[in-house]
Amino acid sequence: MAPKIVVEHVHKSFGALHVLRGIDLQVGEGEVVCIIGPSGSGKSTLLRCLNQLETVSDGRVTVDGVAMSDAATDLNAARRNIGMVFQGFNLFQHLTVRRNLTLAPVDLKVMSRAEADAQAGRLLARVGLADKVDAYPRQLSGGQQQRVAIARALAMRPDVMLFDEPTSALDPEMVGEVLAVIRDLAEAGMTMVIVTHEMAFARDVAHRVVFMADGCIVEQGTPAAVFTSPREPRTRDFLRRVSG
């Protein structure tokens, strides 16, 4: 089966700062890859290069057969296939939950308003928020807002979901409810790349864990391999620090 995401020799610089230093990564259909690593190692930049929120300085990114890094590619069309969830929930505060979920599919003529409304109800049920369809984001807790943000990303029926530290901005008691939604997506076979500091979650949900440092993939493998018997000293140091 062709991989869903192919990253080949990707470099990214911001001016003189060489942030990604030759990344090669493939993600298969239905695979869940968790990216871990110290702050500043380039995790967010790599994720943003996948949907070309950042252009790559060198190398190639292909998602679902579409050459994202090719100047001729219609990025607006290609990005509809890639859902992204950020640390901050980035919901439209002046719109109800329903409108947050129907805006893109209706405006982009992917579905009728009636279809989008029906889908919004299904998606909210899926993230455990069926009763919040008429609420405004400010009336929801952080964990609820992040679940709406996930539902909103799903509303475009993406084949790939990207998460950048989806629980980092949450109070501790709300982390679990968001991780549970992501775990459900994994079990449903969604292809996902998740940058996370939640090591227990990564260990539990990932098919593969990728450890990044200084703009490189230092080590990758099954969660058991990376967490239990890391080969690289930098991985061991990092895991020792995050486990306190």
Using the rule CB under 6 A, is 145 a contact of ligand ADP? Answer: no
Torsion angle in degrees (nearest 10) through CA of 167, 158, 94, 171: -10
Q: Which of 4, 6, 34, 45 binds ligand ADP (CB under 6 A)?
A: 45
- Which residues are CB-neighbours of 76 under 8 A, at least 6 positions away? none
Using the rule CB under 6 A, is 42 a contact of ligand ADP? Answer: yes
**Which residues on adjacent β-strands are paired with residue 25?**
7
Stretch of residues binding Mg ion (CB under 5 A), selected from 40-48, 105-113, 178-186, 224-232: 40-48
Q: Which does residue 230 touch among Mg ion, ligand ADP, none (CB within 5 to 8 A, set by kind)? A: none
Alpha carbon distance 18, 214 (integer Å): 9
Using the rule CB under 6 A, is 188 a contact of ligand ADP? Answer: no
The answer to whether 153 and 145 have CB atoms below 8 angstroms apart is: no
| 44 or 69: CB nearest ligand ADP | 44
The answer to whether 9 and 58 have CB atoms below 8 angstroms apart is: yes
Q: Which does residue 72 touch among ligand ADP, Mg ion, none (CB within 5 to 8 A, set by kind)? A: none
**Which residues on adjacent β-strands are paired with residue 192?**
32, 161
Q: Which of 41, 44, 191, 196 binds Mg ion (CB under 5 A)?
A: 44
Q: Which of 6, 33, 44, 186 binds ligand ADP (CB under 6 A)?
A: 44
Q: Which of 14, 58, 113, 222 binds ligand ADP (CB under 6 A)?
A: 14
Using the rule CB under 6 A, is 41 a contact of ligand ADP? Answer: yes
Count residues near Mg ion (CB under 5 A). Answer: 2
Using the rule CB under 6 A, is 16 a contact of ligand ADP? Answer: no
Q: Which two tokens stand for residue 113?
A: 């308003």
Q: Which two tokens stand for residue 192?
A: 């996902």
DSSP label of 226 = I
| 41 or 144: CB nearest ligand ADP | 41
Stretch of residues binding ligand ADP (CB under 6 A), selected from 43-51, 130-138, 145-153, 202-210: 43-51
Instruction: List strand residue ranges (DSSP E) for the chain, in order.
Output: 5-14, 17-27, 32-36, 58-63, 66-67, 82-85, 160-164, 191-195, 208-213, 216-221
Using the rule CB under 6 A, is 92 a contact of ligand ADP? Answer: no
Alpha carbon distance 32, 17 (integer Å): 30
220, containing H or E segment: strand 216-221
Which stretches of the chain bind ligand ADP, using CB under 6 A?
14, 17, 19, 37, 39-45
Which stretches of the chain bind Mg ion, using CB under 5 A?
43-44
